[in-house]
Amino acid sequence: MLCLLTLTMMEMFSAVWGNFRILLQSITIFFLWCWLEILRKSKTPTQSVKPEAGDGTKVTPTSVNYHFTRQCNYKCGFCFHTAKTSFVLPIEEAKRGLTMLRSAGMEKINFSGGEPFVQQRGHYVGKLVQFCKEELKLPSVSIVSNGSLITEKWFRLYGEYLDILAVSCDSFNEDVNKLIGRGQGKKNHVENLLKIRQWCRDYNVAFKINSVINRYNVDEDMSEEISRINPVRWKVFQCLIIEGENTGEEALRQAETFVISNKEFKSFLDRHRNIRCLVPESNEQMRDSYLILDEYMRFLDCRNGRKDPSKSVLDVGVENAIKFSGFDEKMFFKRGGKYIWSKADLRLEW
Ligand code: SF4
């Protein structure tokens, strides 16, 4: 009886051991397979697409210039963003695009045109300025305008959301402004500039002046007026030729007669070397150191002397669109594109 019991127990033990060995082998094979899988995946190249500039480096849209309209009430002979379309995005679409840019790293937005204040008498740009400051919390929100349509009421409504207002002024001689085309009817461009300068003081907005140096103002000395007005920055551009905008058969302007040589531009800069707020920009610096968005929110590549558009940010996203922007990030930093651009940091003392 005892022998029979021992025999049964041994058979049971042998059966359990057999099953345990099979289980152990299965676990070993499973772990081996997992390990081989991990090894295989680590050797497979990644498929994710990174936004890259021409040289393969990632581009962040830190500072963006959004030319949301091409319409303007002036007729400057050298204008290089002309009224080729009358298209303006519905404001909700513009806000969607700006939100996408913010998520991609945008810190500064500049609204430009055309003339930004043409659209809805300035309310369109005002609402975008407010949205960028209040909702997107952008450190810097600015506008470039010819100044002719800005009112004090606009400052009352939107001034607190705006960091910098740049007004274009190429001459303090009204006759020269008329020759250039900077004007509309009886409006006096310089008087207007001075009025806006005062509103910027009153409503705590940093004031900038942009000047395009061309055949008609290249010999002018603006030192006295600029010193008196005392802008936070005086941007001095060399008149730029862009195929399809201000030169060529399809262009709305023919700016060849406005062009000056590098030597002439340098002599203008030398004449104003004592103006500390002067920031010069040659043609070379201008061409590819700006991230420019057009009215459809397409990046414009200016590297080949014309404006080649990407697909719209709204259709393909920022990362895909920016690859065709032609933006040179190194040149952006070299020309001083990153500066103190929030009025909170400017310490406006007037
Ligand atoms: S004010 Fe500016 S947008 Fe208007 S015509 Fe002159 S350069 Fe062009």
* pLDDT for residue 314: 96
> Which of 76, 85, 112, 176 is the best mutation target for the ligand 1 pocket, counting ligand atoms within 8 Å of the beta carbon and taking the most?
76
Q: Domain 61-346, what fold? A: TIM Barrel (3.20.20)
Among protein residues, the one with the nearest Cα to ligand 1's atom 6 is 76
* pLDDT for residue 350: 37
Name which of 245, 269, 268 is nearest 256 in CA terms. 245
Those residues with Cβ within 8 angstroms of residue 15's Cβ, 6 or more apart along the chain or in another chain: none
* pLDDT for residue 80: 83
The strand order across the sheet containing 108-112 reads 278-281, 233-238, 206-213, 164-168, 140-145, 108-112, 63-67, 291-293, 298-301, 308-312
Q: Is the pLDDT of residue 12 over 80?
A: no
Instruction: Give the domain ranges of the chain.
Output: 61-346
Q: Is the pLDDT of residue 15 over 90?
A: no
* pLDDT for residue 45: 32
* pLDDT for residue 203: 97
Band (pLDDT 50/70/90 cuts) for residue 184 is confident
Q: Is the pLDDT of residue 110 over 90?
A: yes
* pLDDT for residue 185: 79
Q: Look up tokens 């080729």; give the residue.
A: 84
The region of weakest confidence among 74-88, 127-141, 203-217 is 74-88
Q: Is the pLDDT of residue 1 over 60?
A: no
* pLDDT for residue 333: 66
> Which of 182, 235, 254 is the best mutation target for the ligand 1 pocket, counting ligand atoms within 8 Å of the beta carbon and taking the most?
182
> 241-287: per-residue pLDDT in tens?
887 778 877 778 878 889 999 999 999 999 999 999 999 987 776 66
For the entire predicted model, the pTM comes to 0.78
> 186-238: per-residue pLDDT in tens?
788 999 999 999 999 999 999 999 999 999 999 999 999 999 999 999 999 99
Instruction: For residue 332, give the amino acid letter.
Output: F
- Whether ligand 1 lies within 6 angstroms of the CB of 76 is answered as yes
CA of 108 to the centre of ligand 1 (A): 22
What residues form DSSP beta bridges with 298? 312
